Structure 1
Amino acid sequence: MGALAWLLGGAAAFFALLDGWYFLRMPVLVIYARWVLPTVFDLLQEQSFQSRVLLSDLDFLRHMNNARYPREADLARSVHLTRCGLFRAIRALGGHTVLAASSCRFRRSLQFLEPFQIRTQVLGWDERAFFLEQRFVSRKDGFICAVLLVRQHVVGATPEKAVQVLCGRKVESPELPEEVHYWMKYIEASSRRLRAESDLLLDSKDH
């Protein structure tokens, strides 16, 4: 009984203090993508990740909580990058990836128990990051309920080298869509403003 109590207490603490399902699902999904799902050889091919709105995903309005979208997108993106081999290529170069920016646009709510899929696609890359689009598509009627743009930075390597390792040759990035260019300009403008604010703060401390 003592061991069972400790086990139940540990499980309760795991789910109460941490996002337990995320920490359980992520490694399981990555292992499943690596060893069970077929490899996707086309880097730019769209991949689908199936899911459903559960009780734990709901907010007070009884639809999927806005905070759940980036979490589910994170899972789908990890599966995507595992299946196409980018994770392995980046690790082979001694690097890793970090999420540098994301933006979500909501078009329609996902309701309780509604099945949906996340369609993830690599749009292109620059000298520092890969750009991906992730669409939340209702499986009831095919409506695109939300769209995420993601900037996934490569640390310790470069996207160009990772693609070269993956493809065995140098590959140029496709032209990024117009909305990605506008989004990048917003990020750059925001960075300039924040750096300027930091410089002013440092100057005021010096005086």
Structure 2
Amino acid sequence: MFSTQSQTKCWVWSLSCPAFNVETYIFWVTFFGVLVFIFCDTSFYLRSLLDWVMNICQYKPIIGSAGIRSTHFYSGRCMTTDMQKRQSSINCSASFLRECDFAFRVFTKNYGLNDALRHLGASLVNSSNNTKFRKSLSLLQSYTVSTRVVWWDNYSFYVEQKLVRDHDKVVCAVNFSRHTVEGASPQDLLDVLPFCSCQPEMPPPEIASWMVCINVVNRELQLAGH
């Protein structure tokens, strides 16, 4: 009796569940994999992982005479993910700011800022950007992103980054970014670092003008109740 019931259940299951098809399984896995790659920006996360591994393998602590104000260089190449529609250009904000982000990660690693942040239990947040685009890049064209801290106050570091085309040394874009320190102050971080960095007495003119613009926007948002 038990054997007959088991055979009946197996027969019903075989009718309701089709036979396993390897080709169908591979098709659906590939289909959903392509959807994830397209809509979840998988290339960015793969690039981040590769950049993180290369940063560990090529880690070189830097202690310059100018301290954190010395310039760091990060090399890259214009790929298909950087292209704009109908023009060969990295001149779109998403691509250039991503390269600036990658370059700044390497900068903070090599200059010991990451270790100082962990030591103090603090974090860095990119709170503002001001970008000027000048020239474009062609596909597979190499470039260098220079990064340096130009000034800091009681709350934030102000960073200048330039994207320079390698073959003719033309500055294609310039980005100023403000990185706010949460949980500490910029001076607290600098006190932890093994080199001395002297703060300029006054911010550069372009930073001073940008700070005025930021304060005006913040004031307007506060008045609007945001």
TM-score (norm 2): 0.79
Aligned to 1:26: 48
Q: 1:46 aligns with which of 61, 71, 75?
A: 71
- Say which SS state the counterpart of residue 97 (structure 1) adopts: strand
- Change in 2 beyond 3 A, CA 1:91/1:54: same
Within the candidate set 181, 184, 193, 2:211 is matched to 184
Q: Percent identity?
A: 27
- Cα separation, partners in 2 of 1:146 and 1:87, compared to 1, 3 Å: same
Q: 1:12 to 1:96 in 2, by over 3 A?
A: same
Deviating 4+ runs (over 3 angstroms): 1-11
Task: State the number of aligned residues.
Answer: 198
Cα offset, 1:131, TM superposition: 0.9
Instruction: Give structure 2 stretches of 5+ with no counterpart.
Output: 1-21
Q: Choose from 69, 78, 89 the match for 1:63.
A: 89
Pairing partner for 1:126 from 148, 153, 157: 153
CA shift in 2, pair 1:28/1:62, >3 Å: closer
Once the two structures are superposed, the pairs formed by residues 116-195 of structure 1 within 5 Å of their partners are: 116-167=143-194, 171-174=197-200, 175-195=202-222
Asked whether the equivalents of residues 88 and 137 of structure 2 are also in contact (C-alpha less than 8 Å), the reply is no
RMSD in angstroms over aligned alpha carbons?
A: 2.1
SS of equivalent residue, structure 2 residue 52: helix
Aligned to 1:94: 121
1:155-190 alpha-carbon deviations (Å, 9 max, x no partner): 111111011011377x54224311001101100011
Distance of aligned partners of 1:162 and 1:50 in 2 relative to their CA distance in 1, 3 Å threshold: same
SS at match of 1:40: coil
**What amino acid does structure 1 have at the position aligned with 2:199?**
S
2:184 is paired with a residue whose SS is coil
Of 36, 54, 57, the residue aligned with 2:58 is 36
**2:107 alignment partner, SS class:** helix
Structure number with greater Rg is: 2
Displacement after TM superposition at 1:194 (Å): 1.1
